[in-house]
Structure 1
Amino acid sequence: MNIKQHTIKKSVTVSGVGLHTGVPVNMTFLPAKPNHGYKFQRVDLPEQPIVDADVDNVVDLSRGTTIEQSGARINTVEHTLAALVGLQIDNVLIQLDGPEPPIMDGSSLQFVEVLESAGMEEQNALRNYYEITEEVRYRDNERNVEIAALPLDDYRITVMVDYNSPVLGSQHASLTDIRQFPKEIAACRTFCFLHELEMLHKQNLVKGGDLNNAIVIVDRIIRDDELDYLASLFNKPKVEVKKEGILNNVELRYKNEPARHKLLDLVGDLALAGRPLKAQILAARPGHAANVAFAKKIKKRMVESAKNNIPHYDPKLPPVLDVNQIYKLLAHTYPFQMVDKIFHLDETTVAGIKNVTINEPFFQGHFPGNPVFPGVFQIEAMAQTGGILVLNTVPDPENYWTYFLSIESCRFRRMVVPGDTIIFKCELLAPIKRGIAKMQGQAFVAGNLVCEAVMSASIVRKK
């Protein structure tokens, strides 16, 4: 799994018709900055509203996952999102001139191919994984659906489907490495039973449906006149039933292609939780309603964990900025180099660490015999961390200085001693205006708040 975030190198477009709306549409993937995530944009509507790919924006689950925001609706987003997750692309803007991504062949394959043609670009930001630390479970007794997420330092999915059908019985599919998605899962197409197809047409859905973009499973005896009707419905010269119990529209790409497609749908729907996951996902008889309900449970866990407000630091991961990169920006020298590593940096927030060691020079004279890290140095280290955030807002940070203007509401909550690792977090309280930045700064040791302050600073171009 990727450590850093990725986007695409250039814009690429796919064209087709929406499965349910039948509306011709051009869908363009555009590169996006770090921490942008997945966003759709309806460029055919006034003011071109943006719809975040967020589980809270789901408004309809009838034969697909539909999201809506600011009056703009995007139908059937799961195949598009699955392609992005499967390629480990984190940040992209998806522009559409219609209400629904093109169905293409009913899989994610064409999306994967066009995204691969764009090329991947690594970004200077770590992926913001949400790691499942305790089991999360969802069950729908009425539909006999069960989905569970178990702790795992990876992303693996196993899906089982069972339709109590002699044609499509019990099937399993697994994805043990996300890098397998493009070759093992992406090409697996959507499917439906014949009786569902008839019902969907009566409901005025699948207007863009074609016998080339879905596997149609025949689960009952069908008369010749019905086959003739289907042929006329889909503008085909002839429709037959194969011995496998499917229409002669397509050849199966895998014996368990339906189960693999259900796995594809699950990958796409879980993208709506908002962050890449580390978990073992086990799903029995999943569908869009269950997938989205499960994604909501995961997002709720994310929100609850975020309330602790402590950035997660994993020393195994490479830094966003190492000590040499930090002080090319800040231009401090010994003994005023107070930050060892920046491990998170986006437009509004920065997080870094300071390893407190007994060999630092001030311990010789500050409380000899009772070494305590001075509070003024905690503030200085917090300010240097915030300085990185401020300098990140200009294209040429090496040409700027940052200066303290004020410190407010400063509190020291606990003593910091040698051997402690301090995690500093600084967050902008408002957009930077006229070179003035106001930040909330916090310092944590072992999950405990040790220091906090509201700091103001100015950014000034070097003469």
Structure 2
Amino acid sequence: MAFQQTLKNKVAFSGIGLHSGKEITLTLRPADAGTGIVFHRIDTTPPVSIEARTENVVSTRLSTTIGKNGAAVSTIEHLMAALFSCGIDNAHVDINGPEVPIMDGSAAPFVEGIKNAGSKSLSKSRKYLVVKKPVTIRNGDKRITVLPSRYYRISFDMHFDHPAISRQFRTMKFDRESFADDFSPARTFGFLAEIEALMAHGLALGASLENAVGIDDNGIVNPEGLRFTDEFVRHKILDSIGDFALAGVHLVGHVKACKSGHELNHKFITELLSRSDCWSLMELTPPENKTASFPISLPEMAWLEAC
């Protein structure tokens, strides 16, 4: 975990865009250390490259959208969560449309594809943003706080005035295996009563029960039911991991979120990055013949050096 990683091989994904309804193909390619995750709109003339960073977020309406030089890519959060959870710090994403395909509504297909492509370590050390002081952002009854912690942990408290969801709470200490098994399969969800209005505004044009959990007045519409009894809050954690990955570094802190979504997630990361007095940017530099692990053990804390 001390060194940055990239893909070992290319991997491609194809599917419908949840909001655009367009058939889209994207290809992940290896990238050099320090590149980060960069999306390339190869269908534009000339092609436009957009770094997956907080400063390039142009919309958070129902998904996270990044844009630059007149081009944009939306619904990036599931792919970003998959890349982060698989330890991929650097990758080129060639995409021939305005939206990442929704696949089955979760991050699991991306996780599986990235794992099959493999990863390789690079010679540059990975950076960690280690929280030293609490940071909180609020919008009405929505709130996100991050506290100092030896781990990257997310706790999420969600509330919906619907009996199929009601109130759900879950906390997770991040690790790759736990995310892949317990969170990446959690699907996006929506209320059928809102679909017509969304479609009238050019949204949810590709939505179906094959790529989302549908909810009506009586409950879950999908004939197969839920993948988890608390699938909704698990998906909110998945979205948060993808949105927080736009910080471009690995967080070490306990994020506590209540009723947050893409908009507040973006505002939170923007606020956190601006509060340099509340964190230290670190990198693991293990002594010769030793391997750094994560979460950071007490002996390894001595290896942390400020960048």
Confirm or deny a common fold (TM above 0.5). yes
Give 2:44's aligned residue. 45
CA distance in 1, matches of 2:237, 2:306: 40
Identity across the alignment (%): 36
Structure 2 Cα separation of the partners of residues 93 and 37 of structure 1: 8
* Mapping 1:281-320, distance limit 5 Å: 281-302=255-276, 312=282, 317-318=285-286
The Cα shift of 1:248 comes to: 3.0
Cα deviation code 1:131-153 (max 9, x no counterpart):
11111111111xx1111111112
Asked if structure 2 preserves the Cα contact closer than 8 Å seen for 1:146 and 1:285, the reply is yes
Which of the numbers 121, 140, 163 marks the counterpart of 1:166? 163
Residue in 2 that maps onto 1:8:
7
| TM-superposition CA deviations, 1:352-404 (whole Å, max 9, x none) | xxxxxxxxxxxxxxxxxxxxxxxxxxxxxxxxxxxxxxxxxxxxxxxxxxxxx
Alignment of 1:270 with 2:230, yes or no, is: no
**Is the 1:7–1:92 contact (alpha carbons within 8 Å) kept by the matching residues of 2?**
yes
Superposition map of 1:137-286 within 5 A = 137-141=136-140, 144-179=141-176, 180-218=178-216, 220=217, 245-286=219-260
Q: Contact 2:135–2:278 at 8 Å: present in 1 too?
A: no
> Distance in 1 between the 2:57 and 2:222 partners?
35
Residue type at the aligned position of 2:221: L
**What is the one-letter code of the residue matched to 2:117?**
A
Aligned residues: 291
Q: Is the 8 A contact 1:6 1:90 kept in 2?
A: yes
Instruction: Indicate how the Cα distance of structure 1 residues 313 and 64 shifts in structure 2: closer, same or farther if over 3 A, else same.
Output: closer
**Is 1:70 matched up with 2:44?**
no
> What is the CA-CA distance between 1:302 and the residue it aligns to?
4.8
Distance of 1:424 and 1:62 partners within structure 2: 36
Give distance in 2, aligned partners of 1:139 and 1:61: 16
C-alpha distance after superposition, 1:199-258 (max 9, x if no partner): 21222211111121111111x3xxxxxxxxxxxxxxxxxxxx6xxx11135420000000
1:159–1:173 CA contact under 8 A, matched in 2: yes
Unaligned runs of 5+ in 2: 290-304
- Relative distance call for 1:187 and 1:312 in structure 2 (3 A) is closer
Amino acid at match of 1:52: E
Distance 2:197 2:282 in 1: 49
Q: Which residue is equivalent to 2:292?
A: none
Q: Does the CA-based 8 Å contact 1:212-1:250 persist in structure 2? A: no
> Runs of at least 4 residues of structure 1 off by over 6 A?
303-306
Is the 8 Å Cα contact of residues 4 and 89 (structure 2) preserved in structure 1? yes
Q: Is the 8 A contact 1:273 1:298 kept in 2?
A: no
Amino acid at match of 1:212: E
**CA drift at 1:301:** 2.7
Task: Within 5 Å, give how 1:327-366 maps onto structure 2.
Answer: none
Summarize deviations over 1:307-334 as a string: whole Å, max 9, x none: xxxx8576xx315xx6x9xxxxxxxxxx
**What residue identity is the alignment partner of 1:155?**
Y
Instruction: In structure 1, list runs of 5 or more residues that go unmatched.
Output: 221-240, 325-422, 426-463
Is the 8 Å Cα contact of residues 130 and 302 (structure 1) preserved in structure 2?
Answer: no
Q: Report the residue type matching 1:47 in the other structure.
A: P
Q: Tell me the alpha carbon deviations over residues 73-122 of structure 1, each in whole angstroms, 9 at most, x when there is no partner.
A: 00111111011111121111111011111100111011001000001111
Q: 1:193, 1:217 within 8 Å by CA — same for their partners in 2?
A: yes
**1:138 touches 1:147 (CA, 8 Å); kept in 2?**
yes
Residue type of the alignment partner of 1:160: D
Q: Following the alignment from structure 2 to structure 1, what is the Cα–Cα distance between the partners of residues 121 and 17?
A: 31
Deviations 1:323-353 (A, max 9, x none): x9xxxxxxxxxxxxxxxxxxxxxxxxxxxxx
1:18, 1:24 within 8 Å by CA — same for their partners in 2? yes
Shift of 1:304: 9.2
Note the aligned Cα RMSD (angstroms): 2.1
Letter in 1 for 2:286: P
Q: Which deviates further from its counterpart, 95-104 or 202-211? A: 202-211
Choose between structure 1 and 2 for higher RCO, CA contacts under 8 A separated by at least 6 residues.
2
Q: Scaled by the length of structure 2, what TM-score is found?
A: 0.89
The letter for the 2-side match of 1:101 is: V
Secondary structure of 2:149's match? coil
> Secondary structure, in 3 states, of the residue corresponding to 1:197?
helix
How many angstroms does 1:305 deviate by? 7.1
User: What is the aligned partner in structure 1 of residue 127 from structure 2?
Assistant: 128
1:233 alignment counterpart: none
Q: One-letter code of the match for 2:101?
A: P
Following TM superposition, by how much is the alpha carbon of 1:22 offset from its aligned partner in structure 2, in angstroms? 1.1
User: How many Å separate the matches in 2 of 1:208 and 1:133?
Assistant: 43
